[in-house]
Structure 1
C-alpha cells in the first residue's frame, strides 16, 4: 500500500472515496454506514470507506477531525443539514464494528499498530457522540 497510516484518510481507499464525496448526499452516507450492520465480514477497503463516511457525518454535526481534508470541509459547506440522531448512532455502531470485527482491524493487529489505530477510531466515536 502506498498510503498507510492510522488516520482515517491515511489509506488509498479513503482517499479515493474522498474524490467522490462532492456528489454524495447525507442519505448516501447513511446507506454506506448501514453496510456495517449487514455484512458478515467487513473487508479492509469497505471498512476504510465506512470510517471515512463516519468522519463526514462527524464534520456535518460540527465535530470534524482536527485536520479534516478539504473535500470534507467543502462537502459540509454544501450540505448544511444536521444529521438526525439515529444517523450519528449508526455511524458510531459502524465505526465500532470496524474497530472490533473487520479485516482492517486484523491488518492493524498484524502490523503492530492496533493501539494507535484503535485510538483514532475511539476519537471519532467520541466526536460522533457529541
Structure 2
C-alpha cells in the first residue's frame, strides 16, 4: 500500500515538476549509447576489484546521483543491464581460464534509517 502511495505521488510530481533536460537526456540514452558517452576506466588500481566506469566522469556522477538520491528507475535499469553484462563476461572468462567456480557478490547494506529516509534501496533497484 505504501509503495502504491509513493508511486502515485512520484507520478504526479513528475508531471508537475518534470526532470531537468540533463536528466531527460540521461534517461533517453540506450545502454549502448550510455557506454559510448561514458569515459572508460583507464587504470585498475587493484587487481581483484573491477569498476565499470571512471567515477570522475560527469556523466557517471550525474547518473549515480540520479540513482542514489532520486531513485531514478530508468538509470537503475541501464546500470543493472550493464552490471549484468559485465558480470556475465567477467565470470565466463574467469570460469573458462581458471579454477574459480564460486563467485561472491556482496552489495553494501543500507541502514533502516536511510531506507526510510529515501524510500528505496538503490542496490535493489539494480536487480
TM-score (norm 2): 0.36
Q: Judging by fraction of residues, say which structure has more helix.
A: 1
Greater RCO (Cα-Cα under 8 Å, separation 6 or more): 1
TM-score, L = length of structure 1: 0.35
